[in-house]
A and B are shown apart, each in its own frame.
Chain A
């Protein structure tokens, strides 16, 4: 009798440990993208949006934001990334209304708000084009260690810009949470954005 009570206690203890282990496992790996929580600063900038309006990170408070650096004279990789993000937004359905894709130009001399407006709208209504003073753009790229550099001019005065391809994802409070690369699948993005965007989700 005494032994069986002891055995029951042991069973309970083991079950408890297993449950705790399960929970810890769940907490450790809800994300499929790279978790950058606590490793990157909160979203902060002072730029001009594609309507010509001065904006700061506070204007996007309450939205999950996807920060991506690029430029409109980039015919290959930038459109590919934005087209993929468009599909991700479509697949998220109504939840996507809680997200904004912030496409920050690293080529402000050519990317006027008007040029960015047409470009952003060609991909998805949730893409916001942002441009501004070169120093403001540089401080934003430095904040997220996203390097960019202007390549030597080609014939006809055109030039290319090398830039980081990462997509930085911030929660609705502007905290840096995840980093995606263009190689990450749409499924991974959808999984993690679903978590960030769901009411009572991982905020």
Chain B
């Protein structure tokens, strides 16, 4: 009876250990937005560190400040032409890091709901494949900011 109780207790723990959500595995750092004048689309950047033992799959993002947040990738083709493409997901490997940085992966932020200025903080929520969410404060920086 006592052993049964212990077993039952252990069994409730097991799924908990295995089910750290994808969002919980991610440590975000250096989150910032390059602010452009008027209502031009802006780039959002962040370093995503997966400290978990399984992949985390970023599937979308949203923000109360922007009407549209899209996951994009910039690349240069063989002719030296710059293109952007939309991604439907981005995998952050277990114990790995994915950098959303200029000229690479980034969030394309459109339709700001109110004017922003450098120094502001904007919350953006990342949505993962398992339905978990991670809200990250992004620092608004001027157009000509460099790393």
By a beta-carbon cutoff of 8 Å, the part of chain A in contact with chain B is 72-77, 79-80, 82-84, 86-87, 115, 118-119, 121-124, 147-149, 151, 154, 156, 158, 160, 162-166, 181-182
Contact = CB atoms under 8 A, between A and B. Distances in A.
Interface of B: 34, 36-38, 40-43, 68, 72, 74, 76-77, 79-84, 86, 102-103, 106, 108-110, 142-146
Nearest to B104: A76
Nearest to B107: A75
Contacts of A86: 144, 146
A73 B144 contact: no
Contacts, number: 95
Contacts of A79: 34, 36, 43, 102, 143-144
Contacts of B110: 158
Contacts of B83: 151, 160, 162
B144 A122 contact: yes
A74 B144 CA distance: 14
A41 to B, nearest CB: 19
A123 B144 contact: yes
B83 to A, nearest CB: 4
Given A76-B84, A147-B81, A165-B81, A118 B106 contact: no
